[in-house]
Amino acid sequence: MRVPSAIAGALAILAIFTLARQLYSSREGLLAAGLLACSYSPIYYSQEARAYSLLLLFSILSAHFWFRLREQLESDDRCAGSTAAAYVACAAATQYLHHFGLLLVAIQLGALLALFALRPRALVRAIGVSAAVVITYLPWVGYLIEDFGEGYDHIAQPTPYSIVKYWNFLFFDTSGYLAWFVAVLLGIAACRWIAQCRAGGFADLAAWLRSPTALLIVWLVVPVALTYLRSVTSVSIFNNRNLIISFAPAIVLLARAMTSVLGSARLQALTAAAIAAVLIYGPFVKGGYYRFPRKEQFREAAAAVAARGDQLSDVRVIAYAWDAPSFDYYLERTGAMSRVALIAGSEADIPEAGAFLEAEDPEHLWYLAGHLRPERAFVQFLDRKLVLVEHVPLHGAFARLYRRRE
């Protein structure tokens, strides 16, 4: 199940090379590809049976064909049918992979229409391409409307510091210094770009606003800003992995900043090698990425229940997770006969748990936790009510076996 993510992660390296080379030169392409290949988040999500690695790949591919489409419309108000078809296909895949993929495609289409608003012939073709993308998504609109007002209990409302944490997510190392170094480098490059625009007057500024660099900044900033605003005004959806759609422009902009600020090719190569070394050393060497579990061990908690299944009688299961299926799936997969009967873990849940134990009066009780950490008062309640037989500590989870107090 993880093979598609691994393939997508590998292809994303080639895709970002192609994108950066298309926008700037082969040097930026090589720098961007090298940085992506060593980055923690793409590696992490390339090992998950989830959509994020594919989302990263198709966000790059859709941008690649979007920029090619834009260039063709800029040159003669026309675009090749193959380019339009490739963009529609990649945009359709991007928006079906994740709701945040849909957000990215919506921004791309909005930018395309805005860029050619004053050029009727090009605008007609931009509208045609946009309409084709919208049509591909029509079968899923009902599900989008159904999900649109839904938030996630596990996603806290963001604060301004959440933006800093997202920046650290993009350029993660265990020391935290790399993200600040990248911010300083990009800041210096931005000052140079601003100075060049001021020296050239308004005409150069207007041209720069249509440049690849400005459009990459839009790609980086706008999804984050819109997600933040929706999270603080409505439902909370600000989550680092959802915003992996803005990972690629950060990498390409960093590659461009390195070639703009660092004069010689040798200095650029040395800097890129140093950044790659930090990216690898922090999480993979110092952080022990391949030595310790990184995902919450729901499966291992369920396996502990399954392993004692033949030895115990009259068993009930209480869990503390987002919902019962979080554990029931793994209980079924590991062959355990028991299923979660109650979700409880806060002090407010104690009366309900007490009533459950009084009504069921089980000889044995498993208490499983994952993702959510139960409150101390609830665990103390179980320890007083029952006799603890075994505690299985796990990464981001645990399993506790109790027996009836005589």
Which helix (H) or strand (E) is 163 found in, with range? helix 160-170
The pLDDT-based confidence of 143 (bands split at 50, 70, 90) is confident
> Is the model's pLDDT at 361 over the cut of 60?
yes
Name the token pair of 19: 């994108």
AA identity, residue 24: Y
Place of tokens 């650029």: 268
> 311-344: string of b/e by CB count within 10 Å (b at 16+)?
ebeebbbbbbbeebebbbebbeebebebebbbbb
Strands 387-394 and 364-370: unpaired
Is the model's pLDDT at 151 over the cut of 80?
no
Q: Is the pLDDT of residue 226 over 70?
A: yes
Angle, helix 202-209 to helix 212-233, in steps of 10 degrees? 70
Q: Is the pLDDT of residue 41 over 90?
A: yes
Least confident window among 121-130, 142-151, 241-250:
142-151
The per-residue pLDDT for 84 is: 97
Does residue 397 sit in helix, strand or coil?
Answer: strand
Please name the helix (run of DSSP H) or strand (run of DSSP E) that holds residue 316, with its range, or none: strand 315-320
Q: For position 149, what pLDDT does the model report? A: 65
**Beta pairing partners, 401:** 366, 390
C-alpha distances in angstroms, 92 versus 56, 86, 119, 294, 402? 14, 10, 26, 32, 51
Give the integer Cα–Cα distance in Å for 358 and 162: 44
Q: What is the DSSP letter of 140?
A: G
Task: Write down the pLDDT at residue 303.
Answer: 97
Cα 220–chain centre separation? 14
18-27, 150-159, 199-208: which has the highest mean pLDDT?
18-27
- CA 329 from chain center: how many Å? 23
- The pLDDT of residue 204 is 67
Q: How far does the chain reach from its first CA to its final CA, in angstroms? A: 47
Whole-angstrom distance, CA of residue 1 vs CA of residue 218 = 34
CA-CA distance, 59 to 91, in Å (whole number)?
Answer: 8
Q: Using 50, 70 and 90 to split pLDDT, how confident is the model at 402?
A: very high
- 172 or 394, which is more confident: 394
- What pLDDT band is residue 197 in, cutting at 50, 70 and 90? confident
Q: pLDDT exceeding 90 applies to what percent of the chain?
A: 80
C-alpha 341: how far from chain center? 32
**Range 124-133 contact pairs with CB under 8 angstroms and sequence separation of 24 or more:** 125/73, 125/77, 125/78, 125/79, 125/84, 126/73, 128/84, 129/69, 129/79, 129/84, 129/87, 129/88, 132/84, 132/88, 133/87, 133/88, 133/91, 133/92, 133/95, 133/105, 133/109
Euclidean distance between CA atoms 247 and 168, whole angstroms? 11
How does residue 352 score in pLDDT terms, banded at 50, 70 and 90? very high
